[in-house]
């Protein structure tokens, strides 16, 4: 019996990353099957790393959200000084298996679930930036929801882990380049919330297209001048636009996680799915019963891109039935209106009873309904200026309405001109502050930074106070202000 830390029996290696291994194990004390994540599986972690990871686990255990794969226990192995986490075991694994086969409806569900998790993490105090959004870190929960894993481990902890070589003999590093935003390759590459939005956009693009938008080099190619590719395939303009905005080269032009969640909730609610039971070949109009209630998965037929044989069979049967009904109706109409010109008795023959034309049309539509193509309706324009994360990030949104995009406006503050959204006469959201004269930069940390005439600040304001952004000075200097990150 291969036991880890004298308790967990290893069953199967699920995955291996830059700093950890994940095993399917059995807890010998309880008999429960779970996932075991072992950090620095190739060697010991230093004492500073263990202390920092212990402190950060306290934040992770408090992150209570249905779209987060929350760890249940943190420990350090007695024999090897290897920190580890125990987590719920997701028998369906991660979303890698769906690459290239994901439908538009599932894409909206993926955006909805992961954006909701990110909105929750970004609103924590201090905010948690995931830093490594990719298919391998998004699991399909046993309840049908998508779950975000591997959150809460900061770059400080990662840097304290001892470097080791992977199977190819190359040294690994924090994050995954293929999903990294362009700003991560800049001189100042400190983590910001917009990094996670970019990585989510790259992930959704890959799930739909079957390949990454910028290949293995990620945002580095984009930083060198490459344009964001258009998502190929017969997908709605709204979905394509959302992905384009997530992959925008400028961080402040990407939507926030809370805005993405709001958009996806609305789009998902307006994209009904016809579900066909493959075993009985019966059709129902239950839109989300398999995923939301955890019942066995059934074949999904979504009009666009339907490749299942049973979809074609159902289409043929429905078409034949519709043609047959129309033919019978035409036959009745023809003979009921004709008369026998050779008959002596000119009394018209008895009328043939037939259903009204409206009923025939209704019957045809009823037969055609299960196989009709369903398309995602285009929603109102999505603003490229994301809002601040809500104070109640885990609150369930029940309304299916979409908040119209707000337009940027100029606000004269006397000492400066604000170009962006404002609430009650105060800057609120992403925009540019151009200073007319020397004045303090109002920021949440109140550090007393003094801007001069001609200086600009591109960034995100919350109720009149700078949250984070870039201070571009008139003398040519530049300073990034990342408060609380």
Q: For the chain, how many residues are written?
A: 485
Q: What is the mean pLDDT of each run of 10 residues along the chain (485 residues)?
A: 92 84 95 91 68 75 87 84 90 94 96 97 89 94 93 53 39 67 91 96 97 93 92 95 96 96 95 45 34 35 38 52 64 49 41 45 44 43 39 38 48 89 86 89 83 89 85 83 62
Which residues of the chain does CATH 1.10.510.10 include? 95-163+172-269
Alpha carbon 175 to chain centroid, angstroms: 18
Q: What is the 3-state secondary structure (H, E, C) of 108-175?
A: HHHHHHHHHHHHHHHCCCCCCCCCCCCHHHEEECCCCCEEECCCCCCHHHHHHCCCCECCCCCECCCC
C-alpha–C-alpha distance, residues 404 and 406, integer Å:
6
The pLDDT value recorded for residue 468 is 81
pLDDT on residue 175: 58
Q: Residue 316: its pLDDT value, please?
A: 54
* Sheet of strand 20-27, all strands in order from the earlier edge strand to the far edge: 3-4, 8-16, 20-27, 33-39, 83-87, 73-76
Inter-residue contact 68 to 393 (CB < 8 Å) = no
Going by C-alpha positions, the residue among 37, 45, 33 that lies closest to residue 9 is 33
Name the CATH topology of 95-163+172-269. Transferase(Phosphotransferase); domain 1 (1.10.510)
The pLDDT assigned to 326 comes to 67
pLDDT at 371: 40
- pLDDT at 355 (0 to 100): 45
What are the start and end residues of each CATH 3.30.200.20 domain in the chain? 3-87
Specify the fold of 3-87: Phosphorylase Kinase; domain 1 (3.30.200)
Task: Provide the whole-model pTM.
Answer: 0.56
């Amino acid at each position: 019996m291969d036991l880890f830390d004298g308790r967990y029996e290893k069953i199967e290696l699920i995955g291996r990353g830059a700093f950890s291994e994940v095993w399917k194990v059995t807890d010998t004390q309880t008999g429960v099957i779970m996932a075991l994540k072992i950090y620095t599986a190739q060697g010991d972690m230093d004492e500073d790393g263990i202390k920092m990871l212990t402190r950060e686990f306290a934040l992770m255990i408090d992150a209570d959200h249905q779209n987060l794969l929350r760890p249940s226990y943190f420990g350090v192995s007695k024999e090897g000084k290897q920190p580890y986490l125990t987590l719920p075991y997701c028998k369906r694994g991660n979303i890698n298996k769906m690459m290239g086969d994901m439908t538009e409806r599932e894409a909206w569900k993926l955006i909805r679930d992961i954006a909701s998790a990110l909105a929750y993490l970004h609103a924590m105090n201090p905010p948690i930036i995931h830093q490594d959004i990719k298919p391998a870190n998004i699991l399909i929960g046993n309840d049908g929801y998508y779950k975000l894993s591997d959150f809460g481990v900061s770059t400080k902890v990662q840097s304290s882990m001892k470097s080791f070589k992977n199977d190819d003999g190359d040294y690994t590093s924090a994050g995954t380049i293929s999903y990294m935003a362009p700003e991560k390759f800049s001189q100042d590459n400190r983590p910001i919330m917009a990094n996670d939005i970019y990585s989510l956009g790259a992930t959704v693009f890959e799930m739909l297209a079957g390949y990454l938008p910028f290949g293995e080099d990620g945002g580095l190619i984009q930083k060198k001048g490459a344009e964001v590719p258009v998502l190929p395939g017969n997908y709605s303009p709204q979905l394509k636009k959302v992905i384009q905005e997530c992959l925008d080269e400028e961080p402040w032009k990407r939507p926030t996680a809370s805005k993405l969640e709001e958009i996806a909730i609305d789009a998902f609610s307006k994209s009904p799915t016809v579900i066909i039971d493959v075993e009985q070949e019966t059709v129902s109009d239950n839109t989300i019963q398999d995923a939301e209630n955890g019942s066995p998965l059934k074949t999904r037929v979504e009009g666009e891109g339907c490749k299942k044989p049973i979809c074609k069979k159902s289409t043929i049967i429905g078409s034949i039935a519709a043609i047959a009904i129309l033919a019978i109706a035409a036959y009745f109409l023809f003979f009921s209106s004709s008369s026998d010109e050779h008959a002596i008795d000119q009394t018209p023959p008895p009328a043939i009873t037939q259903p009204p034309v409206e009923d025939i049309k209704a019957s045809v539509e009823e037969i055609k309904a299960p196989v009709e193509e369903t398309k995602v309706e285009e929603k109102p324009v999505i603003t490229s200026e994301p809002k601040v994360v809500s104070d109640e990030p885990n609150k369930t949104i029940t309304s299916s309405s979409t908040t119209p995009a707000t337009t940027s406006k100029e606000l004269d503050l006397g000492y400066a001109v604000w170009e962006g959204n404002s609430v009650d006469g105060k800057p609120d959201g992403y925009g540019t502050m151009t200073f007319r004269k020397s004045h303090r930069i109002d920021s949440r940390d109140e550090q007393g930074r003094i801007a001069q005439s001609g200086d600009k600040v591109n960034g995100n304001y919350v109720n009149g106070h700078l949250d984070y952004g870039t201070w571009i000075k008139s003398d040519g200097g530049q300073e990034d202000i990342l408060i609380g990150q």
